[in-house]
Amino acid sequence: MPTDNTSIAAFIDALPKVELHVHLVGSASVPTVLELARRHPDGPVPVDERELRAFYEFRDFPHFAEVYESVSSLVRTPEDVGTLVSGIARDLAAQNVRYVELTVTPYTHQRAGMPMPAVTEALDLAAREARDGFGLGLSYIFDIPGEFGAEGARGTLDHALRHPPETLVGFGIGGVEQSRAPFRDAFRDAFAAARAAGLRSVPHAGEMTGPETIWEAVEGLGAERIGHGTNCLRDPRLVAHLRETQLPLEVCPTSNVCTGQVADLAAHPLPRMLEEGLFVTLNSDDPPMFNTTLTGEYRVAAEAFGLGRAELASLARNAVTASSLDEEGRKAIIAEIDALG
C-alpha cells in the first residue's frame, strides 16, 4: 500500500487502469511490426528497425493515416490478428490494466481476403487467452474506416451483425474526419442498426475537425462516448452540453502531439477540459507508434499537466465508469482504485 512518500510514478504504476481507446493495428509493438514486415516483405513497411522508427515520424494526421494503413496491410491472416491481440493484452496487463475495449477495423481484414468467421474466431480465442493468461478483461469495438465511405460502413456493420465476437460491445468510426461528410446518411444508418443490435456508439470526433463533427456524433450517431473530442472547446454551447450530460471523452494527449493536432503538450486542452467540468478519460490510442503507453499517459498528466494522485485516481475511475463493464466488474476495479488511496 503506498505511503505519503510514495512517488507519483510508483502510484501510477500501481494504479488499476482501464483502457478505452486503443487500436488493434496501432497497438503493434516495433518488434511485432518488424516480424510482420519480414513475414510479408512485399509490403510497404520497412524491415529495418531504424528505418521503421523513422517511418513512425508523422508529418500530420493524413501522413499518420497513410502509415497506419501501410502497417494494417501487413495483417493478412487470422493468425496475424490473434498475434496482435495477444501482444496488446500482454503489454496492458504489465501496466496494471484490468480491462480494455480494443478497437478493431474488420473491413481492412475483409479487404485483405480474410473471411469474417475466421477473423471472429481469432478475436474470440485471443480474448479468452487474455483473460486466462493475463487476467485481463478484453472487449471489442468494431470501427468503420471513414475513408471507405458507405462501403466501409456496410462491411463493418455486416461483420458486427452476422459474425460478432463474443465480447463485441461497441461500434465506432475513425480515420480522417474530413472525409465523412459525403457519407453522412450511410454512417447514420449503420450506427442506428448497430445501436438497435445492442452495441454502444463510440465514434471518433473532434480530433482533427471542429465542434460540428462532435455535434454530428452526438445528434446523428447517438454517441455514448466520444473518441478524442478535444476541439469541443471551440464551441461554448457544446462545452455546456458535454458538461451537463457528462458524455465521456476519450483523450489521448501524446497521440494529439504526434499527429500534429496540438503543437506540444503545453498547448494541449486537457487541463482546460477538466476545468470546464467535462468527463475525461486517459487513453493511449496507438501506443508504440507514438512511443507511449497507458501508464505513460498518466505520467504525462502528472508531469505536464500537474495532476496529483487524487486527480489521477479520478481519471482512472472515469474510465471504469465509462466502460461497458457490468456493475459488478466496475465496482471491483473502483474498489481497487479506492484502496490505493
Report, as an integer, the average pLDDT of 310-331: 98
79 is catalytic: no
> What is the predicted pLDDT for the residue at 3?
43
Where does the chain show beta strands of DSSP type E?
17-23, 97-104, 137-145, 168-174, 200-201, 204-205, 226-228, 249-251, 280-282
> What is the predicted pLDDT for the residue at 71?
86
Phi, psi of 316 (to 5 degrees): -65, -40
Give 76-105 pLDDT, tens digit per residue: 899 999 989 998 999 999 999 999 999 999
Please pick, among 19, 101, 207, 216, the residue that the annotation labels catalytic: 207
Please state which architecture CATH assigns to domain 10-340: Alpha-Beta Barrel (3.20)
> What is the predicted pLDDT for the residue at 6?
55
pLDDT reading at 2 higher than 50? no
Q: Where are the domains of the chain?
A: 10-340
Phi, psi of 21 (to 5 degrees): -135, 85
Give 141-194 pLDDT, tens digit per residue: 999 999 999 999 999 999 999 999 999 999 999 988 999 999 999 999 999 999
